[in-house]
């Protein structure tokens, strides 16, 4: 009798133990399958959402050129079909990476999309579309997080290999996977000429073309350039439908310079401000004299100058703690065709040149928009090749879920 009882007890205990063990084992398999399905769904959602953003211009369709907030979010160029994005809608996206700053004279905070010194793009927060707004308009608010990056497919990097007489610049053209050999490179060289103290600088321009070699390298030789000359060099490389752009500047004045701030997309207005008004350096510094021009990117990727009002002016001396007599200069870009605002400046016998794209593609600025993806448990990504005003870009969307179990690592 006792033996039977012990037999039952051992059998029940072993049975229960085994059942628990196998439930746990089956559970793991099922859980893995469920997570696989969720991740798979997330990947599909990522692809759909990317198409939603890229194949829809939003509403109003030309919201990129207006000051209002869109009621539907999309980046497609309303004048085209397929994967062609509006260079102005992209400009209105609040940058994820750049450090914003506040301009004390107007009190406006600016999204910083700049690509280093001299290649500036500042968009006021009042005009920029932030992630929260885009997420609400896309219907992903509180359900999915995303990060959208639009990067140029072709990288054109320019290095100075000989400083003067002649100035020699090496242009390196590469795609995301391979150097672009035998590509036609058309370039524009703008040489800044100082006119002496208290005078606006002038500039001269030179246009030419060259080809890249098998390693994707091309050399541009510019005669009659002194080592202390400030200049800007803009190059467009194109081959078989792929177009990329690069730029390079040499400046001698790094402290007193001009910062272009976009004021209104609708009015096409740009403020030119004294660098000391933004960075609040001390002690008080000299006036900056400027000479601005707008160059238009033509269909054959050459640059054409367009006349612009108030292109020559002066940003007065900064009196520390009191600002300037004239706080900023206002320029009106004459067109909605993408181009580059070039501002040559001079102060205290130091000169330089700053560039600002009008339409993100004219200087192939990358765009990073959305939320930080670090710390997410699973991030699905997808990509498309897109065109922004004929410049080749790659659009990548990273998407993660904000709902459910284990969405953060």
Partner 1 sequence: MMRTVEVLLVIVIITGAFIISSFYAVLPQPRRVSPINLRRLALTTLQTLDTDHDLSLTAFKPSDDSSWANLEIALSACLPPNIVYNLTVYDVLSSYATLYSVYKSMSNVQNLGVGSDASSYLVASSNVTFQFTPEKIGGGVTLYILNCSDANGWWITGYTAQKFAEDLNTLLSPYFQNTIMVQDTTQLAKILNGIPLKNESLQNAVVINTFGEAVPIPGNYCLGGDHQSEGYEPHYDPVPPMTFNYTRYCYTLGKITRQFNWTWASVVGYPFYYVSNTQVFANDQNTYGIYGMQKVYQGGLNAFLQGMDNQNYAYNSQLPTVNTTSIIAHLSTTTQYYCNYYGIYPTLYQTSTRALNGSILYTTYHLNVTTYIFDPVGNQIAGAVYRNITKASGGFLALGLTRTPDIRLTALGLLCDYKPNLQPSDPTASGTSKLVILQLGQVGGV
Q: Is-contact 393 270, C-beta < 8 A?
A: no
Residue 110 structure tokens: 């600016």
Q: Is-contact 195 178, C-beta < 8 A?
A: no
Residue closer to partner 1 by CB (options 126, 176) is: 176
Shortest distance, position 256 Cβ to partner 1, whole Å: 41
CA–CA separation, 106 and 38 (whole Å)? 48
CA–CA separation, 242 and 366 (whole Å)? 16
Shortest distance, position 294 Cβ to partner 1, whole Å: 25
Residue closer to partner 1 by CB (options 355, 380) is: 380
Shortest distance, position 241 Cβ to partner 1, whole Å: 4
327: buried, middle or exposed (CB in 10 Å: 19+, 13-18, 0-12)? middle
Residue closer to partner 1 by CB (options 24, 322) is: 24
Measured between its terminal Cα atoms, the distance across the chain in Å is 56
388: Cα separation from own chain's centroid: 12
Count of alpha carbons within 13 angstroms of residue 88, beta-carbon side: 23
Residue closer to partner 1 by CB (options 32, 204) is: 32
What is the 3-state composition of the chain as percent helix, strand, coil, each rounded to the nearest 5? 20, 45, 40
Shortest distance, position 82 Cβ to partner 1, whole Å: 6
Residue closer to partner 1 by CB (options 111, 389) is: 389
CA–CA separation, 189 and 197 (whole Å)? 24
CA–CA separation, 285 and 300 (whole Å)? 43
Shortest distance, position 174 Cβ to partner 1, whole Å: 7
Residue closer to partner 1 by CB (options 11, 319) is: 11
Residue closer to partner 1 by CB (options 241, 307) is: 241
Q: Residues in the site for partner 1, rule: CB under 8 A?
A: 3, 7-8, 10-12, 14-15, 18-19, 22, 25-26, 29, 32-33, 36, 39-40, 42-43, 46-47, 51, 82-83, 153-154, 174-182, 239-243, 378, 380-387, 390, 392, 394
Shortest distance, position 29 Cβ to partner 1, whole Å: 6
Shortest distance, position 68 Cβ to partner 1, whole Å: 26
Q: Is-contact 288 258, C-beta < 8 A?
A: yes
Shortest distance, position 48 Cβ to partner 1, whole Å: 9
Residue closer to partner 1 by CB (options 153, 347) is: 153
Q: Is-contact 55 80, C-beta < 8 A?
A: no
Residue closer to partner 1 by CB (options 105, 384) is: 384
Q: Which residues pair with 233 in a beta bridge?
A: 189, 248
Q: Which residue has the tokens 């060259």?
A: 210
Q: What are the start-end ranges of the H helices in 243-309?
A: 275-279
Shortest distance, position 87 Cβ to partner 1, whole Å: 15
φ and ψ at residue 98, rounded to 5 degrees = -70, 150
265: which DSSP letter? T
């Amino acid at each position: 009798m006792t033996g039977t009882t012990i037999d039952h007890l051992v059998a029940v205990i072993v049975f229960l133990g085994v059942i628990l063990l196998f439930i746990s084992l089956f559970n793991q398999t099922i859980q893995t399958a469920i997570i696989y399905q969720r991740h798979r769904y997330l990947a599909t959602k990522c692809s759909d959402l990317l198409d939603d953003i890229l194949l829809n211009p939003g509403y109003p369709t030309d919201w990129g050129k207006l000051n209002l907030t869109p009621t539907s979010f999309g980046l497609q160029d309303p004048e085209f079909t397929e994967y062609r994005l509006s260079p102005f809608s992209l400009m209105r996206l609040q940058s994820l990476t750049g450090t914003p700053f506040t301009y004390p004279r107007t009190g406006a905070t600016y999204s910083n999309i700049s690509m280093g010194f001299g290649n500036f793009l500042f968009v006021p927060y009042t005009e920029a579309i932030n992630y929260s707004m885009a997420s609400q308009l896309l219907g992903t608010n509180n359900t999915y997080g995303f990060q959208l990056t639009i990067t140029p497919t072709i990288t054109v990097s320019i290095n100075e290999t000989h400083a003067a007489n002649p100035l020699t610049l090496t242009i390196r053209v590469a795609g995301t996977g391979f150097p672009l050999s035998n590509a036609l490179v058309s370039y524009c060289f703008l040489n800044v000429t100082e006119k002496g103290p208290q005078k606006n600088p002038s500039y001269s321009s030179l246009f030419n073309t060259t080809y890249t070699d098998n390693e994707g390298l091309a050399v541009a030789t510019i005669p009659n350039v002194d080592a202390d000359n400030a200049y800007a060099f803009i190059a467009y490389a194109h081959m078989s439908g792929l177009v990329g752009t690069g730029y390079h500047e040499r400046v001698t004045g790094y402290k007193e310079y001009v910062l272009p701030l976009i004021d209104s997309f609708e009015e096409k207005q740009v403020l030119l401000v004294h660098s000391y008004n933004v960075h609040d350096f001390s002690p008080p510094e000299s006036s900056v004299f400027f000479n601005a021009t707008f160059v238009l990117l033509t269909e054959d990727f050459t640059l054409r100058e367009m006349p612009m009002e108030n292109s020559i002016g002066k940003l007065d001396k900064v009196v520390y703690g009191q600002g300037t007599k004239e706080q900023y200069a206002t320029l009106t870009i004459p067109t909605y065709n993408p181009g580059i605002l070039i501002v040559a400046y001079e102060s205290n016998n130091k000169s330089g040149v700053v560039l600002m794209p009008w339409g993100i593609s004219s200087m192939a600025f990358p765009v990073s928009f959305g939320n930080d993806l670090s710390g997410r448990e699973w991030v699905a990504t997808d990509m498309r090749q897109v065109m922004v005003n004929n410049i080749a870009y790659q659009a990548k969307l990273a998407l993660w879920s904000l709902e459910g179990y284990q969405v953060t690592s």
